[in-house]
Structure 1
């Protein structure tokens, strides 16, 4: 009886190691995925804030300003966006839906950034943020 009990114990020796390995691998994967999701949300938040800053810049630099930004000159708006979010591969599109930069027309700033994860260099869907405002000055 004692031999049978010892034999059974020795046959199950690696079971705990395999269970720990599988559980640990799952936990590490979930932690890594959570960190990636946090970074993704942070990136979106920064891009949204940058789009708002670009809209604010365009709103106060309308046709009546000494240094206006308009449909032909969006470098000031792009510079304001780049001060907040300067990601490589980011594209900034500034449009004036009503055609000009005179008050009370509108301005739209759209930012697109292809988000890349740390693992294997996979590219997730493009992160897009935009802001829309009405020119007041």
Structure 2
């Protein structure tokens, strides 16, 4: 998104991923110790990413309350073993209201923030990075 610190190139996503999760490991080691199971699995994940595992992608996950309120959580991250692991805290996009209940959530959000012309788009991503649009199931 424009005006945010979301990484948009493959190199920036991988770098931000290593920084974000490395900081998490440091905090977790201080609070829980080096032998905590989450710390060990995250450290193993970082080693895999440093060795080139994972495919950079941007995920736009869209939610609806079943009515007019819709929102999207946008994260850049890596797709590892079919799972999206974010490289930063999610950016939330919440338009005022939508009267288009007949459209799928992700299609309506996409029409709001995505344009083929990057100068008119709110979501600007490097062409080498795929954008995955998802509709979350309604509660």
Q: Same fold (TM over 0.5)?
A: no
TM-score normalised to the size of structure 1? 0.26
TM-score normalised to the size of structure 2? 0.26
Higher helix share: 1
Highest Rg: 1 or 2? 1
